Every structure is written in structure tokens, then in C-alpha cells.
Structure 1
Amino acid sequence: MKGVFCEHGPRSLTLSDSGPLTGVRLAVKDLFQLKGEKNTAGSPEWFNTHPPANKTALSLQQLLEAGSTFTGFTHLDELAYSMQGSNLHYGSADNPKLPGYFCGGSSMGSAAAVASGTADIGLGTDTGGSVRVPASYCGLFGIRTSHSLIPTEGVFGLAPCFDTVGWFSQTPSLLVDVGKILIPSQHLSANKVTRLVTCPEISQLADTPIQSAIQEFIPTLNNQFPICEIKHLSDIELLGELADVFRILQGRAIANTHGDWLRKYRPVFSEDIATRITMALSITDDEISWANEKRQQWCKLMETLLPDNSSVLLVPTTPTTAIKKGTDSEPSKVQTNRQRLLGLTAIAGLWGTPQCHLPLFSIVENGINTGGKEIEKPSGFSLIMTPRSDFSLLSLVEQLTKPHE
């Protein structure tokens, strides 16, 4: 499967024949260390300039000890610095749910493995949307966890101030099972969620078909919550600045983490990622000051939308459905799409809070872009809760989706 599984690493590895994940197949994004193996992090130069791991990443070790079977490392966008789902060196995983379209990135291989049925769990990371976007494009359940809740020890860091561990599955119950293993025990109590919040200004960041589908779906959720509330943002201008705020802060973190390696080895990247790295290495202190101030403002605003862990915010996960390969992958279009994606993914990312995608509806498209053919494209929506409410969020997702399993 081009662009899905890496050539290096074991094809079948089991550490335990007992445990809650016994018999469950695990595909692992190629930036989680496995003792004795090397990672590419999406870059041949990274693979060639780094030694084999002397220890397995903590999160991967926990899943293996729970009985899961490692089925292979999976490809990602170069250095995980893209949400496109394409790699200049290793190819682009085809979307199993929508052939001819991208899976989304950067955790494209893990998403494709689960969507195709060759794995049950796809282990990934999410810095700016690298689990949430593929989950939306491929029709999977996927969670980005609270920042620093699950240790990233032994995991390639893109921008440590935003990096999180995440995972995909076809069912919410398996998503929860993984959470029970990876989320620290002191955070495994589920709070009752009684308030569903929607925000028109956020919903309007998505294309009209997704907005309409969400509005049609919300009534099916209303009887699950004692309180359903529409809240308007007090600062719409700030919402429009989130993509740049995240871009700047992430870029500086990448420069601080990888600047020396990038300057020393000058690895080859695709045009869009190379442009992004040049930008990251040239961010000014004034830009950082502006972005930090805006981030603080956004966190305070989010606290008004979600004042406690009994509330959940429903938002579009992505502004569009999966991107078609070919003309839609031109660098200018990639950048435009990325900016729109960040406008949504930064909502949770800047607050460091958990977000879960629920693939509970599709978008039917029939028009000039599909050659007149009717195509059903995976979609859905996300639920966001307060920081470290991850297990409450997972439990809520399982509760809301029981009829869909």
C-alpha cells in the first residue's frame, strides 16, 4: 500500500498474549520509537542521521503490553509539518473511503491503515490537526488529547508546545479502550456532560454543505443534553486571526527544536513544506509577542464558551471534505486549504484541550467536480471539552454513538 506502511520495522510484533487489546492490530506513525529500530519522521535524511532507538516510546510500550499487535510503521508528511497527506519521498496514501482523494495529514498512513481495515487502531500525533484532519477525511473516530496529558517520551517532537498523542479507530468503543490505557489513571473518571454548546461564527468557517449537515444532525443530539445553548463569539476578529497565531507559535517552536539540524543537513522537502520551514526559521520576536497575546485572549474566550467540564462545544472538524489529488494539490491551493484548516484546528490547539472527531454523516456531492457522478464523501463534526477532560469526552462520544456501532 503506497504511502501507508514503511519498509522498515517489524510486520508483526506482540509483547503480551493477554490484556484488553489482545488480537487488536496496531499501525504506528513512524515517529514513535521502537527499541532497536529507526524512524524516518517522514524524511530519509532524518532516518540517515539518527541512530536506532534504545527505548520504546512510552505510549507505544503501553499499547503493546496491553496485548495489541504492532503491524508496521506508517508514513507521514515530511517531519509531520503538513495536513495534506502527501510525502515527496514516500508517496501519498490513497483514501480508502474515497479513492483518488487525500487521506489528510500528517498521520496519513495510520488513518489509511484503519480506514482500509488492515489495522484496528492507528496511533498518531496531533500538533496542528494531524489526527483530526485525517479522521474527518477518512470517516474515522479520532482524538487529539489534551496537551501534556499523555507523555510524549520517545516520540519525535515537531513543536513540543503543541504536540499531542492521538489515535484513530472505526468504532468509539475501541477509541475508549485505548484511552483507558494511555490516559493516566488519575484522569480516568468521567464527568457527566449536561450542556451542548454551538457557536454560529465557528460553524461558518466550514463550507455550506458541512454547515447544513451539522444543523440537520444537531436535533438528534438535543435529547441527550438537558441544556442546548447557542453562544456567539464576542471577538470575531480574533477568530479570524487564529490560523496566523498558531502558525507563528508553531513555527518558532519548530525552529527552536530542529533549527540546528535543518541548517546542518538541509534536507529535501516538498515545495509547500520547504516554504513553511523557511517561514519558521525567520519568525521575529515581535511576531511571537503578538501571537502570545492573542493566544491568551483566545484561551480566556474559550473559557466563556466552556466554563466547566460539564459543557461540550460542537464544531466542524474541517472546512471541507477530503481534497482531490491532482489540481487541488497545487502549492497555492495547499496553502489556502491549510490556512482554512488551521482556522478550525487552532480552536482547540491553542487552548491545549481535547477534541474528538465523530464521522456520523457524509456529504453527497454531485456536480462538475465529480464528473456528474454522485459521490458520498466522509465528513462529521468534532466535540471539544475543557483541558484534561479527555476521558469524559471519550465516554460522551461512546454514549452518543451507541446506535452507530
Structure 2
Amino acid sequence: MEFAADAFLPGPRAFLPGAPGGPLAGLSFAAKDLFDVAGHRTGGGNPDWAATHPVPQAHAWAVERLLAAGANLAGKTITCEISLGILGFNPFHGTPPNPAAPGCLPGGSSSGSASAVAAGLCDLALGTDSGGSVRVPASLCGLYGLRPSLGRVSLEGVCRQAPSFDTVGWFARDAKTFGRAAEVLLGETLPQATASRVLAAEDAFALADAAVAEALAPAVSRLGALFGGATTISLAEPGELEIWGTQRNIVQRAEAWATFKDWIDAVNPRFGYSVARNLAVASMITAEQIELACVVRRRAVERARVLLEDGAILCMPTTPFTAPPVGLPLAELDRLAGRIGVLTSFAGLAGLPQLSLPLGMVAGKPVGLSIIGWRGSDARLAAIAQALQ
């Protein structure tokens, strides 16, 4: 696994000026290489995807939205192959560096977008999040990063993976800039920062490294102080978070196989080992497995409704650890990815917005605190982030 020269795709940059005088004038943004930019191939992190798909003639909705608001497109960024990765590496284009933790993985699959923002190469960057690919790099690279409510931001012109999980998110280094982009991409003015209750998921914190939980405790206290204190709760029954993680993985992998199987059959594309292995496993998931996983999913949705529908905010670690070093063996990478998936699955299963805030440091490396609300509370989460900064 080698580091790329930087976060952007090799070769000439896809640069486009934004419209003059818009609300994002003076800012620059990057787009993950799953977003269409007219006149430039959408590579999907895989050379055979790039070679077998036509050059788009129109921008993805989110790209067009930011350009129309005045932001300049600085280029397209490296992604894990066809968005199937959570730690950020790519065997074809290289692994984007993590400016916040040199020598460590950036998190993925929106790894290049997070890397570009963390390095100061742009002010904002678009990513996608199905299983955690905005939230995780936001945590590991010390950024603000949102997985929106399912369906809240248009996926038009974006390479899809798993339809009931796919979302368009974005990164910024500070809450003010993040909020400016939120108003453009969500199409609404940020409301007041409100929460009926602040809930701290003790079972989620127990799954994190002790140093991570300790580093995030002051941020939980600050969040609670804004809204009358934080209440400690158990998000799930004992062992249920792990079940949510395994069953979310089944549904998401099955959907990804359904998305890509015809292309794989027609092209027989090249893949890195871990992606090829995971697709092979996905191809063998049975209807009975999916049916059981959907039962588990309904339990997660109902738990989310009970906890959050009244305007409460749930907080938990975004990742259970800080950025791991590059060069780890595959077995260790699999173990780390599994630990991440236990924490990211709740919002994914329930279609909830989850915003990672760069509010913790462990041994000089960042780690994020997540705030999660009920569906549609995306703008309120961005407002809370501004109130905390």
C-alpha cells in the first residue's frame, strides 16, 4: 500500500470556476471520483470502471449546486474502488495521505476528499457515505463531515453502491464553512441550535478505545451544557450493536452486488484483493439472510424513533480509534473495519443524519464525536456544530 502524491487524481486537474457573487464565492471544493463532472471521466477508483463508462455530459447535482453558489471546483479526488472501502486505500491510484496523522490511513472511501480538505488544498469536498465513508475520514482526519438523512441530498450524477444506504455528504475544516455549504446543499437556512435532550450512548463509548472515550468526554459535557445536561443511555440491548453491524453489512453488501454484478459479468474488471473478496462474498448472500437482516433493521429504526423523534440528539464516538498506521496486514485491517462498522451501522440502518465533529485528540491524532438526530434534522445538526465551535 503506497501513498499517493496527494489527494487528487493523477493527471490534469478538473478545474471549473464558480458563478460570480454566490453565497460560496471565494471558496473552493473538490469532488470524490464518484461524482460526474461534465467532460471528465468518472473513474470510480477503478481503471476498468473508467474505461467502460462514457464521459459524462452534465455535472452531478451536488457539483452543479456548489458551482452555482460560487465555489470553484479544484479537482476530483481519489476514492476506494467503486466506493467499497472504509479505511481509505486504493491499489491503483495510491492511498491519499492523512495530513492530520502523517503515516496513517485517512479513512474511506471518501479518503481523497477528506485528505484534500485536511491539507488545506480546498475549503470543502464532496463525498459519499453508505457504510461510513464520510463519517470515518472526518474522524480520522480531524474534520466536520456529515452523512445526511437518506434521500436528503440528491444522488443524481453519482455512482451508486447500495441504494438504501447511499448518501451525499461533505467535509470542511471549520463549522462556519461547513454550515455555509449545508445551507446550499440542503436548501435551507440553518435554524437555531436546539435539542430536547442530549443522550450519550454508553454502550457505544464502551466499544471505543479507553483513550478515545476519555478524549471525547469533555466534548459530551460541552454539548450537554448547551441543552440542560447529557443523559447516559444504552443505545441497544447487550450485544445488539454488534448484531446491527453484521446485519447492516449483509444488506449493504447484497445491494452492492446487485448494483455491480451485471458490469462485473460483462467486463470481468480488475480489483484489489479485499474488494474482489468482499464482492465474491456478497454474491453468495441468500434471500433468507437478507430477510433476517431486514428484521434487525426494523428494530434499529424503531429504536431510533423512540430515542430521537422528539428532537433529541444522540452522541457517540464516530470511530473507536484514531487513524491506524499504513502498512498493516490485511487481517488487522479487516478487524479494524469490523470495529468501525459496529459504530456506523445505527445511522445507516435507520437512514439518520450523523455529523462527525473534530472535538477529540489522542496522542496527537484527531478523533470525532458524532451527533445523530432523527430524519430531516440535518440543518439542526450543522447549527449545533456552529454553537459548539
TM-score range, shorter chain: over 0.9
Partner of 1:126: 129
Does structure 1 conserve the Cα–Cα contact (< 8 Å) formed by 2:320 and 2:340? yes
- The Cα of 1:221 is off from its aligned counterpart by 3.0
Q: Quote the Cα distance in structure 1 between the aligned partners of 2:177 and 2:382.
A: 10
Does structure 1 conserve the Cα–Cα contact (< 8 Å) formed by 2:193 and 2:380? yes
Q: Is 1:324 equivalent to 2:325 in the alignment?
A: yes
Q: Quote the Cα distance in structure 1 between the aligned partners of 2:273 and 2:386.
A: 40
Structure 1 letter corresponding to 2:320: P
Partner of 2:298: 296
Q: Quote the Cα distance in structure 2 between the aligned partners of 1:136 and 1:53.
A: 32
Does structure 2 conserve the Cα–Cα contact (< 8 Å) formed by 1:272 and 1:335? no
Does structure 2 conserve the Cα–Cα contact (< 8 Å) formed by 1:149 and 1:184? no
Q: Deviations over 1:144-179 (max 9, x none)?
A: 111101110100001111100111111101111111
Structure 1 letter corresponding to 2:86: M
Does structure 1 conserve the Cα–Cα contact (< 8 Å) formed by 2:221 and 2:229? no
Task: Report 1:182-193 matches (<5 A).
Answer: 182-185=185-188, 189-190=191-192, 192-193=194-195
Does structure 2 conserve the Cα–Cα contact (< 8 Å) formed by 1:9 and 1:37? no
Using a 3 Å threshold, how does the CA distance of structure 1 residues 227 and 151 change in structure 2: closer, same or farther?
A: same
- The Cα of 1:36 is off from its aligned counterpart by 1.9
Q: Is 1:145 equivalent to 2:144 in the alignment?
A: no
Aligned mate of 1:111, from 114, 126, 137: 114
- The Cα of 1:9 is off from its aligned counterpart by 6.1
Q: Quote the Cα distance in structure 2 between the aligned partners of 1:335 and 1:159.
A: 20
- The Cα of 1:272 is off from its aligned counterpart by 1.3
SS of alignment partner, residue 159 of structure 2:
coil
Does structure 2 conserve the Cα–Cα contact (< 8 Å) formed by 1:196 and 1:314? yes
- The Cα of 1:188 is off from its aligned counterpart by 5.7
Partner of 2:372: 384
Does structure 2 conserve the Cα–Cα contact (< 8 Å) formed by 1:190 and 1:391? no
SS of alignment partner, residue 51 of structure 1:
coil
Structure 1 letter corresponding to 2:288: D
SS of alignment partner, residue 19 of structure 2:
coil
Task: Report 1:86-105 matches (<5 A).
Answer: 86-105=89-108
- Segments of 5+ residues of structure 1 without an aligned counterpart are 365-375
SS of alignment partner, residue 128 of structure 1:
coil
Structure 2 letter corresponding to 1:66: A
SS of alignment partner, residue 379 of structure 1:
strand
Q: Quote the Cα distance in structure 1 between the aligned partners of 2:38 and 2:14.
A: 15
Partner of 1:352: 351
- The Cα of 1:41 is off from its aligned counterpart by 0.5
Aligned mate of 1:255, from 254, 257, 265: 257
- The Cα of 1:234 is off from its aligned counterpart by 5.1
SS of alignment partner, residue 350 of structure 2:
coil
Q: Quote the Cα distance in structure 2 between the aligned partners of 1:221 and 1:54.
A: 45
Structure 2 letter corresponding to 1:339: G
Using a 3 Å threshold, how does the CA distance of structure 1 residues 285 and 15 change in structure 2: closer, same or farther?
A: same
Q: Quote the Cα distance in structure 2 between the aligned partners of 1:254 and 1:32.
A: 17
Aligned mate of 1:287, from 286, 289, 292: 289
Does structure 2 conserve the Cα–Cα contact (< 8 Å) formed by 1:150 and 1:184? no
- The Cα of 1:347 is off from its aligned counterpart by 1.3
Does structure 2 conserve the Cα–Cα contact (< 8 Å) formed by 1:194 and 1:227? no
Partner of 1:363: 362
Aligned residue pairs total: 386
Q: Deviations over 1:365-403 (max 9, x none)?
A: xxxxxxxxxxx11113110010111001111111111xx
Does structure 2 conserve the Cα–Cα contact (< 8 Å) formed by 1:306 and 1:313? yes
Using a 3 Å threshold, how does the CA distance of structure 1 residues 233 and 163 change in structure 2: closer, same or farther?
A: closer
- The Cα of 1:308 is off from its aligned counterpart by 1.7
- The Cα of 1:12 is off from its aligned counterpart by 2.5
- The Cα of 1:22 is off from its aligned counterpart by 0.9
SS of alignment partner, residue 360 of structure 1:
strand
Does structure 1 conserve the Cα–Cα contact (< 8 Å) formed by 2:196 and 2:310? no
- The Cα of 1:267 is off from its aligned counterpart by 1.6
Q: Quote the Cα distance in structure 2 between the aligned partners of 1:204 and 1:293.
A: 25
Partner of 1:224: 226
Partner of 1:237: 239
- The Cα of 1:7 is off from its aligned counterpart by 3.2
Q: Quote the Cα distance in structure 2 between the aligned partners of 1:146 and 1:386.
A: 8
Structure 2 letter corresponding to 1:360: L
- The Cα of 1:2 is off from its aligned counterpart by 2.2
TM-score, normalisation: structure 1: 0.92
